Amino acid sequence: MERNVMKIKQLSKYYKNFRAIKNIDLSVNKGEVTVLLGRNGAGKTTTLKSILGFVNYSGEIVILNSNINDVRDKISYIPEDKSLYENLNVKNMLKLYESIFKGFNADKAINLVERFNLPMNKKIKSFSNGMKTSLYIVFSLSQNADLFIFDEPTSSLDPIVRENVLELIRQLVIDGKSVLYTTHIIPEAEIIADKICIIEEGELLFCDYLDSIKENYVLITIPKKKNKNYAFNDVFCSLELSNAFNLIVEKKESSKFMSAETVTESLDLNTFFQTLIRGRKNDTNK
């Protein structure tokens, strides 16, 4: 059985002279949720657009052992432009999806439409933003795809619907499907991710299992002393604060930093992300 459902090598994309993403290496494994985590403008959507073949790019993208154009019916994603079916109601949209998408699960879709309290017979153009988003998620989840791609799917949803959607996405991997999910919301990434890939200014800074972050790295705080120069070797990243340094260090390297003055803590995703991104910002400003 093939473990990779998607493999990207050295993906870059320029818009004129602006470098949107640079040398991205990324893979999505079968039965896992891979989360592309990054701030607004970090390059998440450009990465997805390249994967879906909506923009030209340099690099190599292999999906389900093929080119995107040969496997489109095996990939489910939510279009950015949600105005396509404005004049239909949900009932008509169901019929349309059944005729377009092989193996579309209408029963599941109806079930979810009810669960999200969406009206069957009203025109979609009367829906609120949140309702439209829910609707598109429902239709995406009901497709018979192998790889599901979600680009910040929960951004206009209320907290209850959001939890519901995350649980439904989890259900996909329980059923053996694979998911690529982008977000800038850390608690969401924590709930849903197997693997976390952190993107910043178009570059992938880190990619590993969420549990590996917690397992392999620690946070070490070293208080600053006056008139002393600090240089740290063997750190994954460092962030200079006004009175201390925060270092993220691999556990196996951590013993040499430990002393009476230093504080060693285990890491959660938020601290990891903040230290990595803010530390990098400091470095580039110097």
Give the interface with other proteins as residue ranges (CB under 8 A). Answer: 31-33, 167, 170-171, 173-174, 187, 190-192, 194, 210-212, 214-215, 255, 258-260, 264-270
Question: What is the smallest separation between the CB atom of 128 and other proteins, expressed in angstroms?
Answer: 28
Largest CA distance in the chain: 73
CA dist 282 and 242 (Å) reads 12
Contact between residue 124 and residue 90 where contact means Cβ atoms under 8 Å apart = yes
Environment class of 148 (CB within 10 Å of its CB; exposed 0-12, middle 13-18, buried 19+)? buried
In the complex with other proteins, the residue whose CB is nearer, 124 or 218, is 218
In the complex with other proteins, the residue whose CB is nearer, 179 or 199, is 179
Question: What is the smallest separation between the CB atom of 168 and other proteins, expressed in angstroms?
Answer: 12
Q: Which residues contact 281 (CB under 8 A, 6 or more apart)?
A: none
Backbone angles phi, psi at 72, to 5 degrees: -55, -35
Q: Which pair of tokens denotes residue 166? A: 């995350």
Question: What is the smallest separation between the CB atom of 207 and other proteins, expressed in angstroms?
Answer: 16
In the complex with other proteins, the residue whose CB is nearer, 80 or 167, is 167
Contact between residue 48 and residue 26 where contact means Cβ atoms under 8 Å apart = no
In the complex with other proteins, the residue whose CB is nearer, 128 or 259, is 259
DSSP calls for 193-224:
-SEEEEEETTEEEEEEEHHHHHHHEEEEEEE-
CA dist 102 and 263 (Å) reads 57
Question: What is the smallest separation between the CB atom of 259 and other proteins, expressed in angstroms?
Answer: 5
In the complex with other proteins, the residue whose CB is nearer, 46 or 271, is 271
Backbone angles phi, psi at 171, to 5 degrees: -55, -35
CB atoms under 10 Å from CB of 94, counted, come to 20
Question: What is the smallest separation between the CB atom of 48 and other proteins, expressed in angstroms?
Answer: 21
In the complex with other proteins, the residue whose CB is nearer, 26 or 33, is 33
Q: Is 90 left (phi over 0), alpha (psi -120 to 50) or beta?
A: alpha
Strand order in the sheet with 58-63: 18-29, 4-15, 58-63
CB-hemisphere CA count at 13 Å for 267? 26
In the complex with other proteins, the residue whose CB is nearer, 21 or 145, is 145
Question: What is the smallest separation between the CB atom of 174 and other proteins, expressed in angstroms?
Answer: 5
Question: What is the smallest separation between the CB atom of 271 and other proteins, expressed in angstroms?
Answer: 8
Question: What is the smallest separation between the CB atom of 250 and other proteins, expressed in angstroms?
Answer: 14
In the complex with other proteins, the residue whose CB is nearer, 157 or 218, is 218
CA distance readout (Å), 225 to 240, 245, 283: 13, 11, 20
